[in-house]
Each structure stands twice: as structure tokens, then as C-alpha cells.
Chains A and B, each alone.
Chain A
Amino acid sequence: MIARIMRSFLILWMIICLSGCSSVLTYYAPLKSKMVDGEKRIGERRSYEYSSSSGHSNKIYFEKKPLCGESVMKMRYAQKELRCFSCALFELIFYGLGLFDMLTAYTIVEDSKKIEPLAEYDTGKLVVCGPVEPAADEVVVINNPKTGMQRIATTDSSGVIDLDQILSDLKDTAFLKIHLKSDPGRTFDYFYKPTRQASYSHKRE
């Protein structure tokens, strides 16, 4: 009696296993869509990122890096959801048919994969899109907050300004605030000490 029940149960289970629960349910599942970023593209140049460095001779070097806008192609990524995967695992215990079911289900998911482009949009990010180059012919504003003095200078073809030339009339040291006219947000402090005075004081010593 028990043997007959067991045999009936195993035959029934084999039929269920052969039906491929996971495969069938996955096959009839709808596509599930999500949005993914596709290829990134660098657009036209929008602005520059400026940097400056100074040596011992009161010369300031200005450099600039070109910045371009970044755009991304948004894609729709759709594929069927893997369903009832645990059923296939359970089928595996009995006859090993679960392996076939799992493979079929995975194949169905892979076959259903659909990637289609939606639109390209600007991410609003700026990325460096070229080599660093000297900031030539840029207008530089030099301020002395203590005295209220303001001087305007222009960088040469190498992106250099010589403060000794621009402030030749200034005999004493001064704390200067310097910025590029095209980049007023990036102001830096500079402690100016006339080179001639420095050498002169050195001689006196």
C-alpha cells in the first residue's frame, strides 16, 4: 500500500518536473523594464578650469584646462524576471530534471532581453577634455585690499604676468588678492615682496 502511494507520488512529481515549472512561469512573465546609462559622450567645450603657480621671481603662471559638457544616452533595459527558481532547485533533488528547467528558464530570460535607446541628455557635469595649456591673453585683476589699489594686467603668450613690472612703483611688501577676470570666483592671496628690494636688503646685510 505504502509502496503504491510512493510510486504514485513519484510519478506525479516526475510529471510536475517534466512540465518545467520555472520555465513555464518565466515564459509567461511580463518584461520588467528599468533605465540604465548607455554610452557617455563628451560634447563641446564650455569653459576652462584655471590654476596658477608662482616662482621666486614674482612671476605668476596661469594655466587652463578645457572643460566640456558630458551627455549620456539613457537606455531602456527590459527582460523577463526569473520566476519560481526554487521550484527548479527542488526538482533537481529528485531526478536532476531541475537542471534542464533552470537552463531553459535562463535561456528564456536571456532571449527576452531588450535594450533600446531612449534619449541623450546632458548630465550637467563638466569633464576635462583636453591638455593643460597656458592661459594666454587673459585679463588679471590685482587688488591690494589695504590700500584699495587695483591694477589690471594681461598674461603673455606663456600665460605669465610679472608683478615686478606691473607693480614697479610699489616699494613695500603687500598682501595682494589676484584673480582672473574670466574666473572671479577663484581669488588667491599673494604676498608681494619686490625683488629689487629683496636683493637690496640682502646687499645691506
Chain B
Amino acid sequence: MEKMTQKNHTPRFLWILFLCFFFPVLCPGCLVAPPHESLQHSCGPYPDNYVAIVEDYLREYLDHPDSIKDFEVIKKPEIVILDTRYPTIRLHKGFEVWEFFIAYDAKNDKGNYVGRDLHVAWIRHNRLVAFDYKDLDLEYRVKERIENPGY
């Protein structure tokens, strides 16, 4: 009789364990969905204000943003399909990005001009997502999200 009681209690114990540990872990993942745009393969509408977007980023990123000279758009935004995944940027193979090239010269932290160089920028859904194939600073991303909540 005692053995029977023990057998009946075991599944209930497992359910309690599941509710106590697994449910609180899985629940936030179901309720708090990631931003809609990051899951889409498409890159959104043509970014008309792409120069303003990248200038805004350079103001945050450069040591001497006022020192920018010889700024030029080398290639206007064109859709590019990614050939690999970028884990740090959270982009996957097959995703589309608006890719454009800019060139400029600016002063480094020591106050010297480093020489004019070409840079690659990617925009998705009117948001700068990568610069020179690298992830953007967290500080900029937070600021940008606050100013432009998007989806």
C-alpha cells in the first residue's frame, strides 16, 4: 500500500519541479518576443536618410567628429544578401541589408588625421546595424533605440 502511494506521488513531484524551474525560464522567452525587424529576411524600405543615419553614428563613434573632411558617398544603398551569418550583429545567412560605402578622413584620439579611408555600412529598416562588418557600440544602439523605437 505504501509503495502504491509513493508511485502516485512521483509524477506530481516532477510536474511541480517543471513548474518551479522550467516554466519561469521558458515563459519570458515566449512572452517577450524579439524585435520584429530582426527576424525578417527583408531589409525594409530604401533608407532615404542614410547619410543622416551614418553621420549620427559617426558623431558617437569618432574621437573628433568635427574633424571629418572629404566625406563622400562612394556607393549608394543597394540590397545585398548576406553570404554568411554574423553572430555578433545577429544577422543570418540569406538576410538582406542595404549596403552603402562612404569615404572620409578624420582625426584619431591623438589629434592626427589618419588618412581618407573607405567604410562599409549596413542599414536594415532605417536602422544602422553594422559598420565595417562590425557590431555597433551598445551605447549607440541603446540611444538609437530610444530615439527610434521602430517596431
Tell whether A33 is near chain B: CB-to-CB under 8 Å.
yes
Q: Mark B110-140, 1 if CB is under 8 A from A, else 0.
A: 0000011111100000000000110000000
**CB-CB < 8 A to A110: which residues of B?**
none
Whether A35 touches B132, Cβ cut-off 8 Å, given contacts A118-B120, A119-B74, A124-B115, is yes
CA distance A63 to B75 in the complex (A): 39
Interface SS, A side: strand
Binary CB contact string for chain B from 80 to 109 against chain A (1 if under 8 A, 0 otherwise):
000111110000010000000101010000
CB of A45 within 8 Å of the partner chain: no
Docked CA distance A121–B104 (Å): 10
Verify if B70 is at the interface (C-beta below 8 Å from A): yes
Is the contact region of chain B dominated by helix, strand, or loop, or is it mixed?
Answer: strand
- Please count how many residues in chain A sit with their CB below 8 Å of the partner chain's CB atoms: 17
List B residues at the A interface (Cβ < 8 Å).
70, 72, 74-75, 83-87, 93, 101, 103, 105, 115-120, 132-133
**A binding-site residues for B, Cβ under 8 Å:** 30-31, 33-35, 72, 74, 76, 78, 114, 118-119, 121-125
Given contacts A30-B87, A35-B120, A125-B115, 14 further A-B contacts (CB under 8 A): A30-B85, A30-B86, A31-B83, A33-B133, A35-B119, A35-B133, A74-B118, A76-B133, A78-B84, A114-B83, A119-B101, A121-B72, A121-B116, A122-B116
